[in-house]
Amino acid sequence: EAQLVKAYGGRKPIILSETAAVQGRAAWIRQLSSWVKSTPAVGAVVWFDTDVQHDSDHNFRLDAEPDALAAYRAMARSARFAG
């Protein structure tokens, strides 16, 4: 990750697209939020928010776990993403 940020972060915003977690989502999102706050090159974070996959029974939806949804909302509402 550090190499990616170093290589491209100075030229264009980095978008984390389709990120997700299966277990421990709230803690994982809080850790992600901390990393994003300390990495100015990150311009956007997109959560892979689905409960339907043909080859998996995992539910990636944020609203499946109230703590995970609260953690993501806190990250999205932070001054870091205020524009």
43-67 tens-digit pLDDT: 899 998 877 777 878 888 888 899 9
CB of 41 within 8 A of CB of 16? Answer: no
Instruction: Say whether pLDDT at 75 is over 80.
Output: yes
Neighbour count for residue 80 (Cβ, 10 Å): 16
**Whole-model pTM?**
0.82
Measure Cα distances from 1 to 13, 29, 40, 64, 72 in Å.
14, 17, 13, 28, 21
